[in-house]
Amino acid sequence: MDSPHVVILPFPAQGHIKPMLMLAELLSQAGFTISFVNNEQSHRRLDQAAFRRRCPGIEFLSIPDGLPPDHPRTGPSTVDLFFSTNTVSKPIFKNLIASMSRPPPACIISDGIMSFAIDVAADLGIPAITFRTFSATCTWTYFHLQKLIQEGEIPVLQGSDEDMDKLISCIPGLENIMRRRDLPQICRLDPENPILKFYVTESSKMTKASALILNTFEELEAPAISHLRTIFPAVYAIGPLQTASKSSAASYNSSSLLQIDQSCLSWLDSQPSRSVLYVSFGSVIVLNRDQFMEFWFGLVNSEKSFLWAIRPDMIWDENGPSKVPEELIMGATERGRIVGWAPQEDVLAHDAVAGFLTHSGWNSTLESISVGKPMICWPVIADQQVNSRCVSEMWKVGMDMKDICDRSTVEKLVRDLMEGRREDIMKSTVEIAGLAQDSVREGGSSDRNIKKLIEDIKLLHS
């Protein structure tokens, strides 16, 4: 019999495309043929040739995302894709699958926020599996948005610390940990806000899929994973994917949509062991000039070395994206190094790096956990508020500075992470990194779940 054919559809953003590409690579290594469907912009920017050399079974295809070609697709404009993909991409995606020259797909694996693909799969009689690129804890939280609205917990109005620190009681398993301020950022919106409504709808449509894939591992999030098993007939926790797919640097670098600046690695080579703080706020969020200045001076005043990945569209003022002020770069001395886009996984694994100041995107969090680097978390949007709470209070692998952005806090937390509280935090950080690595070893939980996923897809094919 021919090999199973699987269609994979990520949401068109870096943090979604990368883990889904790693899954594609794993399935391809198992002998599957893969049709990987991007929007046209990501399709052009991916290093497809590099993937094809390693995994000839992956074919890259593209569909329009519904936005005009010159419409921005990162930063605050990312949300425009929520609505345009749903309306414009859906019929085109259906036609694409119906007219494929490859054998009919054994299943469609679609992003948890591209649930129109589940409708398409149902129309075409193809099984659908949903891949949520968030943590299990956050995925579980999103399933309670409607309940949070009913209980009056949404909108979270930014009030006194006492108000914001009140525990949330309506999410089973998280009663003693989740405060109002730790709810996903969309919970700060009005219940009628279209973005909040989008997530409520997507979460409910996701449950029509026959299975859920998560980039996490059982040992890290057992309680949330078992709660999710009450919603989905099958849940496959197969992460950390970058470790599971035994990705070489070439592999995860070719999943990057932005040009990687490798030069920072030789700079890191010249730095003492565990002396540098890596700073990155991911591919989407933006900082206003005041926020940027607070971080900058906090870092400089800490007197620690830092490597900061600053995308060209990361700092915004009233006129749009703005550059790092020249005088700051000139005065940064040898202690501060800036790159536009870093080879993040190599950086985090580098011996010179002591820790990570992060926006707590799920990929970044898991990448840091996997190589045992403790974090300072400054969450802004989406799942980041939940992740930072897990990092600081559940797993104790970092510190959370949510809702605060001032230079003295940055300076203090950097010193705490690099010196004062380091020994304490490193105990759990090292322990959890070990669990992450064990999970993807032969016989580990994620390894078993990946094998089960592969076997289950083969059954769909037969």
Q: Rule CB under 6 A: which residues touch ligand UDP?
A: 14-15, 18, 256, 280, 282-284, 309, 341-342, 344-345, 361-364, 367
CB of 311 to ligand UDP, least distance (A): 7
Going by C-alpha positions, the residue among 99, 314, 83, 56 that lies closest to residue 195 is 83
Q: Strands across the sheet with 33-39, in order?
A: 58-63, 33-39, 5-9, 107-111, 128-132, 211-214, 235-237
CB of 430 to ligand UDP, least distance (A): 21
Residue 394 corresponds to which tokens in the numbers above? Answer: 């559940």
Alpha-carbon 38 to chain mean position: 17
Cis peptide before 69 (omega within 30 of 0): no
Alpha-carbon 315 to chain mean position: 20
Q: Which is nearer to ligand UDP, 96 or 369 (CB)?
A: 369
Question: DSSP code of 4?
Answer: P
CB of 456 to ligand UDP, least distance (A): 26
- Cα dihedral 356, 372, 435, 450, rounded to 10, equals 60
CB of 125 to ligand UDP, least distance (A): 33
Q: Which is nearer to ligand UDP, 15 or 372 (CB)?
A: 15
Q: Which is nearer to ligand UDP, 309 or 357 (CB)?
A: 309
Going by C-alpha positions, the residue among 6, 48, 41 that lies closest to residue 23 is 6
Q: Which is nearer to ligand UDP, 100 or 265 (CB)?
A: 265
CB of 282 to ligand UDP, least distance (A): 3
Q: Which is nearer to ligand UDP, 156 or 279 (CB)?
A: 279
Indicate if 16 belongs to the active site.
yes
**Among 5, 16, 350, 461, the one annotated catalytic:** 16
Going by C-alpha positions, the residue among 2, 69, 3, 65 that lies closest to residue 37 is 65
Q: How far apart are the C-alpha atoms of 302 and 439, rounded to whole Å?
A: 36
**Among 111, 383, 400, 416, the one annotated catalytic:** 111
CB of 106 to ligand UDP, least distance (A): 28
Helical spans, DSSP H, in 217-325: 218-228, 241-244, 249-253, 263-269, 289-302
Helix (H, G, I), strand (E, B) or coil at 386: helix
Q: What is the DSSP string of 394-462?
A: IS-SEEE-TT---HHHHHHHHHIIIIITHHHHHHHHHHHHHHHHHHHSTTSHHHHHHHHHHHHHHHHH-
CB of 414 to ligand UDP, least distance (A): 19
Q: Could you tell me which residues come within 8 angstroms of residue 442 by beta carbon, excluding any fewer than 6 positions away? A: none
Indicate if 447 belongs to the active site.
no
Q: Which is nearer to ligand UDP, 18 or 227 (CB)?
A: 18
CB 209 within 8 A of CB 130: yes
Q: Strands across the sheet with 315-317, in order?
A: 287-288, 315-317, 320-321
Which residues are registered as beta bridge partners of 131?
A: 111, 213
Catalytically active residues are 16, 111
